[in-house]
Structure 1
């Protein structure tokens, strides 16, 4: 079968590969506790579900404008204006089926073959995947544990060359739960303005914060015109399966992004967009309750991880991920790295996590090993999962492989 060469540059999201293995093991009778997938375990709030149902009943089942229905774009513009302290027009909003299309379309719209794109590493794997797919050159910017999983902006400055076109930011950050500080954002903004760079700011976890307040680089002087804000409904409102996200950008770029939507999926599901209006304009207590529960789970899992031999875990400020350093655990078990430890825990402790390698290759000079835990699961599962892990670490059994 003759395939296009570009397909060899396309990566994947390893969380779904691990999820497939979890399902296979569960089907064969294994009780797996999963910390692998980044999806809230809450149901979509009832008022949002009813808004979607009502939209179907009122026959909002036809095409919508490629950029999204005007009432939703107005609601998004008002939301972004209020939370980022900037003036936003509905013409600067493009609605997409999930947040990933914004990554995909922005990179297609801005990056020529050979252009360099700086992205966080470790980071959401789709960044690097699509950069390579469009012919760009991915330039990893290390996310550092000794900076509480933030960027070293002095090091970032050294990564910028005449070929740099775009910087991708993600705060709160997947997989570490770290956040960029106000000083970080100010320094990055100065670099972007000085070198005339675009910034894609992935703010999908902006409402899931436990300590401090959220800040967007789009709010800083000179940055709104060169920043694409990516946000959506999946994490905040437990709407992952609804597939509803959006980008906010200058009007000229928004026109081009909407044209890419026209060429690909025509538009986002129309009645789903009415659910989005209700999410933004309706009661917000469900968000507060969910974040409070995530905070309790965060405290539980961090304390538990730090009690396991060979694990050391910083307390994340946002999102719902813990990113423990497991270098000593790998050494205790004689394992070659986080991938081997991830396999060991899956097959010997019945616990699914993701290895550091699921979020990009190690940076130059990086020697530490990490695992990602999504604590978007019940407190009971967290307690049981940590007990299984501690038992497996203490007993130190050799890696066995379960086959179908």
Structure 2
């Protein structure tokens, strides 16, 4: 086969660390996967029925590039009702998943050499998407001592004359960390002072367990600074529908729409009809799913702490992020050996950035029965590794 010169940007990208372990697990029998962040619930029937009805009625053509007006109007009501922030339908764009929304937002605001602050540990796609848009991702580490919550002084210390924007996710993937209103206001002061653009990834907003959700766009003075990313995958159990939405002032949105037009034309029509139903009549199902996730969260976090894997209590999303440093293993080593020896798939924290080293991400979006069995296997694995370490140290005359 002939060889060709390819894009240095494309060839330098690393494959997703999450998918690596998912692919390994998919080829093994009897594996319990706590890896991929996907609800274990099926999309509610009334939402599926709305999509079926749209097909039966022949709605199979393109929609407007920005999405069905009816859906954007419904989204406008949703943002006001849930987030206490007002957006007109003209300020809302329906995208192919929240990932597309992040991609086109970055492409809209970045010029070559612009720096974008990426708060770590973070979703694996953030830094690569900044790079693909021509920007420079700058890592801002958070610490377990603060529950992985971004501190204003950490944010300010990372800002340079080239800083253009920041990516903020609350509740967070992979830590589940959630920022309350006071904490967001402290960050907003820095954003205002340095005139930053904030891409606020709020895909997990429906999955808050202990306190009300606060959107960054609702903080006083922040609406004009914010590109709000939302969608249906996580809260509404609609991952396979590939439908997201972005809300922002027209100043941003009109240019995002142009990129969206050339990339994708529009989001899938039947998925948009399903989304209308989800926004109108989905609250009861969302509440039920959230209640189940909270029960699982409480169980798995308690279990990790009891087995000596220190784990903070996540305020939202459906991830636990326990420390595995007490085992003396790296994140990659722990995840690989756990999969091979006990057939439990987790994601090494290192794939989420440098500050994720020494941790693993475990999705509790699976049944309680599966979680109970997974916890039993993980404890057996941890005890075995600790016994081995103690034996080695004993032979050397050391202490554990």
TM over 0.5: yes
User: Does 1:315 pair with 2:306?
Assistant: no
Q: Which among 376, 379, 385 is matched to residue 374 of structure 2? A: 385
Give, in whole Å, the separation in 1 of the partners of 2:153 and 2:222.
19
User: Does 1:212 pair with 2:224?
Assistant: no
- Cα distance, 1:60 vs structure 2: 1.1
Q: Deviations over 1:368-389 (max 9, x none)?
A: 6100000000111111111111
SS in 2 for 1:125: coil
- Corresponding residue for residue 139 of structure 1: 138
Give, in whole Å, the separation in 2 of the partners of 1:143 and 1:129.
19
Q: Is the 8 A contact 2:202 2:229 kept in 1?
A: yes
- Corresponding residue for residue 402 of structure 1: none
- Corresponding residue for residue 16 of structure 1: 19
Unaligned runs of 5+ in 2: 389-400
Q: Is the 8 A contact 1:305 1:312 kept in 2?
A: yes
- Cα distance, 1:285 vs structure 2: 1.1
SS in 2 for 1:109: helix
Correspondence 1:7-156 to 2 at 5 A? 7-25=10-28, 30-156=29-155
- Corresponding residue for residue 361 of structure 2: 372
- Corresponding residue for residue 352 of structure 1: 345
- Corresponding residue for residue 268 of structure 1: 267
- Corresponding residue for residue 339 of structure 1: 332
- Corresponding residue for residue 256 of structure 2: 257
Give, in whole Å, the separation in 2 of the partners of 1:100 and 1:8.
21
Give, in whole Å, the separation in 2 of the partners of 1:12 and 1:111.
23
Q: Deviations over 1:126-179 (max 9, x none)?
A: 110111122211111112211112111111111111111001100000000111
Q: Deviations over 1:348-394 (max 9, x none)?
A: 1110000011212x14xx8x610000000011111111111111222
Unaligned runs of 5+ in 1: 399-404
Distance 1:256 1:52, change over 3 A: same
Q: Deviations over 1:103-142 (max 9, x none)?
A: 1101111011110000111100111011112221111111
Give, in whole Å, the separation in 2 of the partners of 1:293 and 1:243.
24
- Cα distance, 1:395 vs structure 2: 2.3
Give, in whole Å, the separation in 2 of the partners of 1:79 and 1:283.
11
Give, in whole Å, the separation in 2 of the partners of 1:116 and 1:8.
21
Give, in whole Å, the separation in 1 of the partners of 2:345 and 2:11.
28
Correspondence 1:137-286 to 2 at 5 A? 137-286=136-285
- Corresponding residue for residue 294 of structure 1: 293
- Cα distance, 1:72 vs structure 2: 0.4
Give, in whole Å, the separation in 1 of the partners of 2:46 and 2:303.
36
- Scaled by the length of structure 2, the TM-score of the pair is 0.93
Q: Is the 8 A contact 1:117 1:168 kept in 2?
A: yes
SS in 2 for 1:214: coil
Give, in whole Å, the separation in 1 of the partners of 2:102 and 2:14.
14
SS in 2 for 1:151: coil
Q: Deviations over 1:165-194 (max 9, x none)?
A: 001100000000111132221122121122
**What value does the CA root-mean-square deviation take over the aligned residues?**
1.4
Q: Is the 8 A contact 1:197 1:226 kept in 2?
A: yes
- Scaled by the length of structure 1, the TM-score of the pair is 0.92
- Cα distance, 1:9 vs structure 2: 4.4
- Cα distance, 1:34 vs structure 2: 0.7
- Cα distance, 1:242 vs structure 2: 0.4
Aligned length: 384
- Cα distance, 1:16 vs structure 2: 2.0
Bigger mean CA offset, 188-197 vs 41-50: 188-197
Give, in whole Å, the separation in 2 of the partners of 1:99 and 1:379.
28
